[in-house]
Copies of this chain bind each other. A is one copy, B any other.
């Protein structure tokens, strides 16, 4: 009998019964036997990851223990209060933005900028149109800019820095350095040079932490502190998940389970696409964070690399479900099920006969029933699907999710035999771009 994490209070639970051959047949589902075999086979990889001599490679595991950095950030943020910023504007891209976006949406929601100050904007593109739009509503003079680049030389955040700095100079701002805080890697780099020259506040990304594994470093924590997120709980959740994964039995180990599901469904059942479909708007952008993590870490060597796809329940039932149920059987699905939403909202009694089963129901029940409907319907169509149950969306559960997926990806690197921490394929395009602009 395949065991699983019991749905304990305040812990995530991975329900993968609908990915097994018992439910969906051997052509699309994994047999219990081969699943148990895979768990056993990869248990040593888990040991490898946690072995202390490999600490450098898996340095992200230590981030939840770095209370000193968090204290430093909190003290610095406290010092910012006197500036009464109207806007905080993060300039970063990829791993320097996706963690903060995921945290922002999950923990503060979608409408904060319409009611609270400071407003928080995350700019992760160099399209001139949204920048112009932002400038039409946010006065740089009343804004703090967080500039993030792990390498210190990323085109996008540095170009954006130059633009906003130019705007501040145009407005004859005297104390320029008040407006900027930089976050970058420990090596000598353009951003670091600039920070020193100008006297900007500076936070480090610890050595050996890759951009996409940096959400629990200053890269994610500094923005989160400014958003007034409970960052201590964020780290606590990550620590709790790490410690659980380190010691729990393979058959109950959520990171090992998710890694083995991904590997077997991709390699043995030809499910080359991984659809992450939260039934929660707040967790939707977590999908974008995971999308980078999976794609950039494992997409290598022309032959391997599942393609991550983000979808949203129930929204995408009305857009993608037809393809998911009746199109080619080349995908598997991960649902996020939130057991307790932050809010409860109840319908009235206005709906006519054909829809009177909805009257007086809570939205919470309806979205949950829709998830079950989708999951069962995929199962009937023999499409493997897994549900991650999340007790509630808070900083602690978000920290758990970050750590769970980071360890899953570290495991997948070993299983797929690729370097999960490099991204050699993006250099070529950068060179061409630079050449074009240097003409």
Q: Is the beta-carbon distance between A292 and B320 smaller than 8 angstroms?
A: yes
Q: 0/1 per residue, A121-156, Cβ < 8 Å to B?
A: 000111111111110110000000000000001111
Number of copies: 2
* B367/A128 in contact, CB under 8 A: yes
Binds B, one of A6-14, A223-231, A343-351: A343-351
From B128, B314, B364, A345 is in contact (CB under 8 Å) with: B128
Q: Within 8 Å of chain B (Cβ to Cβ): is A376?
A: yes
Q: Which of B272, B346, B362, B425 contacts A325 (CB 8 A)?
A: B425
Query: Can you list 19 A-B contacts with CB-CB less than 8 angstroms, sorted by A residue number?
Result: A110-B130, A111-B133, A111-B137, A126-B363, A155-B370, A156-B318, A159-B358, A162-B348, A162-B350, A165-B348, A190-B352, A190-B354, A292-B318, A298-B327, A325-B425, A365-B437, A369-B433, A373-B433, A377-B432
Contact of A432 among B111, B165, B359, B373 (CB under 8 A): B373
Q: How far is the CB of A279 from chain B (nearest CB, A)?
A: 7
Residue of B nearest to A266 (CB): B328
Does the CB pair A377–B109 fall under 8 Å? no
A218 at the interface (CB under 8 A from B): no
Interface residues of A (CB under 8 A from B): 93-95, 98, 109-111, 113-115, 119, 124-134, 136-137, 153-156, 158-159, 161-163, 165-166, 169, 190, 193-194, 211, 272-273, 279-282, 288, 291-292, 295-296, 298-305, 307, 309, 312, 314-315, 317-331, 341-355, 357-359, 361-367, 369-370, 372-374, 376-377, 380-381, 393, 423-426, 428-434, 436-438
Residues of B within 8 A of A315 (CB): 93-94, 124-125
- Whether B128 pairs with A111 at a CB distance below 8 angstroms is no
Chain B positions within 8 Å of A363 at CB level: 126-128, 131, 159, 163
Contact A93 to B318, CB < 8 A, known contacts A190-B354, A328-B304:
yes
Q: Which residues of B lie under 8 Å from residue A302 when comparing CB positions?
A: 326-329
Are A307 and B330 interface neighbours, CB within 8 A?
Answer: yes
Asked if A367 meets B127 with Cβ closer than 8 Å, knowing A193-B352, A329-B302, A347-B162, the reply is yes
A299 to B423, alpha carbons, bound, how many Å?
A: 33
Q: How far is the CA of A108 from the CA of B332 in the complex (A)?
A: 36
A357: chain B residues within 8 A (beta carbon): 434, 437-438
In the bound complex, residues from chain B placing their C-beta under 8 Å from that of A344 are 128
Please, how many angstroms separate the alpha-carbon atoms of A94 and B159 in the complex?
A: 37
Q: Which residues of B contact A436 (CB under 8 A)?
A: 369, 372-373
